[in-house]
Amino acid sequence: MTTALSKQSLLFMTFSLALTRFSYCSVANANVNSNIPAIANHFGTKGRYEEVNRYLINDILSVNKSILKPVCTNSTAIHVTAIIRHGTRYPSTKNIKIMQRLYDLVLNEAMNTDKWLKDIKTKWEMWYTDDMDGKLVEKGRDDHRHLAVRLATLFPSLISEENLRAHRIRFITSSKHRCVDSIVAFQEGLLNLWKVTEVGPSHKINDELMRFFDQCQKFVEDVENNQTALEEVHLFKASAEMKRVQMKMADQLQVPYNRITPDLVEAAFFLCSYEFAIKSLNSAWCNLFDETDAQVLEYKNDLKQYWKRGYGHDINRKSSCNLFHDLFNRLDQAAREIRFGHVSEAVSIQVGHAETLLPLLALMGFFRDETALTADNFDVQNGRTFRTSRIVPYAANLLFVLYDCSEGLRLQFLLNETPQNFPDIMHQAPLYDTVRETYRELLQGCNFEKECELSRPNSEL
């Protein structure tokens, strides 16, 4: 399925990104610290991208070029594949319903008379509605417009107007509206940067790549629809750490302890995070949590992602085989074509979900801790590398950049615009052949159909 960016949507963006930048910076510089919740860096998959790269708070279009050291003498970037999460979105209908339950409880039962709680009761209204259901917000569109400009600044020879006009930049997205809207916003960012006003580029919807988890029967059966698959999460929700957060929240609201469930604690945490991510507000809801509370709730979220999308179950990783092979097919094609002096696809922009990025990262061995995340080892996991707040905030991005060097091709990986070493490879931009050798077993295997096939009962064999 292919969709073109309409001329009408381009006309909507007649104001330049310079004005957006000025507006954003003016707000950001106005008493920045007071507008940012102290717990903002613990919001997990509901965190702002700016909390990962704090320099963006003062200038949303700034690029830290100093971190992109030349990978070799006279290096030339010949291809980049960018796998990007959608931008900031509204809560799901499921979460909105729980947030409504919490709001009703606070209005009708909370007895505390502190100013922050009075503000919730008298000034804040439940403005989230069921029909929002995960849709992209305007901040989410800006996430992608601004990311597009920054990536064009980082890789000007690849993400260029010339390559766009020559159809050397390809766009792929999940079918979900928040992803489609994100990729359209990314295109808008480029077209506005280059002041291109004619009808813009098209995009293709490909759920086999960007929503592979829906297509993997073994994952759906063994994890998605299996209540025991997230047993560690359920155990942690009943842990002493979570009980302490529940009791503290009940004390703050002055309601009976049995009125505050783990789901309502999480709903309050979500309200704090969504108000900040969507509106840049340090909401009164954030007063319910301190740093210690936030660490507990962040760990609960990481546990869920670890066991549902990461290393917890092998099929989580293996479900991303098709995306893994697609990535290396694109890199291999560029590697072959550069020998003849021209690469047909300079850039591949692919927009999906946190559930798209995390399994691929796990398949490739990134952020694997020596000790698995479990319900009973919260105390020893403070230094864990599997931390979704840092890995997959809104608009998180995986960049694979192929360079042509005199000694051969080199591949650099960037997470959220910051270079990262491949697991077990010390060089920040190793030879492409070295990377392929590291992943040789996956490249020769990792068959999606085989990995995702449900085991048949013996009686059917």
* Gap between the terminal Cα atoms of the chain: 38
C-alpha distances in Å from residue 311, one per residue of 178, 235, 304, 399, 442: 26, 18, 11, 21, 16
Nearest to 176, CA basis, from 221, 138, 225, 133: 133
Instruction: Say which residues have a Cβ less than 8 Å from residue 205's Cβ, sequence separation at least 6.
Output: 1, 2, 3, 172, 173, 174, 175, 180
Cβ–Cβ under 8 Å, residues 214 and 207? yes
Helix (H, G, I), strand (E, B) or coil at 129: coil
Residue 54 has, within 13 A of its CA and on its CB side, a CA count of 5
The helix-helix angle for 93-109 and 240-253 (nearest 10°) equals 50
Active-site residue set:
86
Cβ–Cβ under 8 Å, residues 350 and 209? yes
Two tokens at 145?
Answer: 């417009």
DSSP string over 132-167: GTTPBPHHHHHHHHHHHHHHHHH-TTTSSHHHHHTT
Question: What is the distance between the alpha carbons of residues 241 and 265, in angstroms, rounded to a whole number?
Answer: 12
C-alpha distances in Å from residue 262, one per residue of 92, 307, 430: 18, 19, 46
